[in-house]
Amino acid sequence: MNAPTLLAPARRRAGLALLIALALFAIAGPWLASRAPHVQDLYGVLRAPDLAEPLGTDHLGRSMLARLAHATRLSLALAVASVLSAAIPGTLLGIAAAWRGGWTERLLSVLADGAVALPGLLLVLLLAAFAPGAMWPLYVGLSLVLWVEYFRVTRARARLILASPHVEAARLLGFGPVHLIRRHLLPELAPMLGTLMSFGAGSCVLALAAMGFIGLGAQPPAAELGLMMTELLPYAAEAPWLLAAPIAVLGTAILALALLAGSRRTEAA
């Protein structure tokens, strides 16, 4: 057993610990804040961190702790929803393509190629035009882009598994599709799908922050990591701790998901 394999459990524990810490912050943060994230106090703008406001206040006197907790909750929830909405249909369609073959596989492959032909950013922009400032275009756009990766990887792997001797033996013994999928396909696909979902969640968090930063995601007064960076950037020299807060949360989320994905990939190898 080589060194990367030995380090995989430690990486997974570190990634889980960071992710749990972020989730706890997103859940408990609003309860610890002194007021709601949208409440302004123009007499207390750009306050430094203190006991009343552990992360200070922004340029409108709003609680940074409350806003950052809400932004973390929004980013993690949308990332998880987008990944699940892409992984479940992508995996099922990949299994169906490998199982049925023929016209079913060709039709689904054409559908996947058509989804890839349209750039993800362009798709999000087209959807955002129907609902400016809404978050659902980002969710739908990310889901429509990500499912193709799950479909292709699942189809390729499932085809090899279905052709393996132990699956052929199970078929000869009369076991049905449900048994084969539950006992043979899913256990073999689970490590690979876990890696894809970890990477996909990290990509979603980054994409949501990037869209918010350029003004395509949440709109003021909503709290979102990318939007907070845009709003606080003009005050970076005067109050650098404000801009550092959403950057730290974003970096921690990406690091946690990367550690989880890296540990799963090492173990699978």
Residue 33 CB burial class (10 angstroms; 0-12, 13-18, ≥19): buried
Closest CA to 213 of 205, 222, 201, 224: 224
Q: What is the pLDDT along the chain (269 residues), one digit of tens a residue?
A: 454 555 678 888 999 999 999 999 999 988 888 788 999 999 999 999 998 899 999 999 999 999 999 999 999 999 999 999 999 999 999 999 999 888 999 999 999 988 888 777 777 777 877 777 778 888 888 898 899 999 999 999 999 998 888 888 888 888 888 888 888 898 999 989 999 999 999 989 998 898 888 887 788 888 999 999 999 999 999 999 999 999 999 999 999 999 988 765 555 44
Closest CA to 223 of 23, 38, 17: 38
For residue 126, give Cα distances in angstroms to 16, 120, 129, 214: 36, 10, 5, 15
